[in-house]
Amino acid sequence: MQAILDYSLNKFCPLIIIGFLIFSNLALNSWEPWVIMGMVLFVERFSFKVGYSVAFCEKNNISTE
């Protein structure tokens, strides 16, 4: 149960905090917070996939050099 709580907090709390800080300093009807949150979600989603692929390549001695 503790692992589920730790995962949830590590996964969602940074997004909630970033969203709160952005929308508390900027208006909801401006476009900047929406673009920033979109970029944060993009980075959050694809950074795991990039890290996984790097680890897979290092484990299997796959190199482009």
Domain boundaries, the chain: 2-59
pTM of the model: 0.59
pLDDT tens track for 21-63: 888 888 878 888 889 888 988 888 888 788 888 888 888 888 7
- Considering all CA atoms of the chain, what is the largest pairwise distance in Å, rounded to the nearest integer? 50
pLDDT in tens, 1-24: 888 888 888 888 888 888 888 888
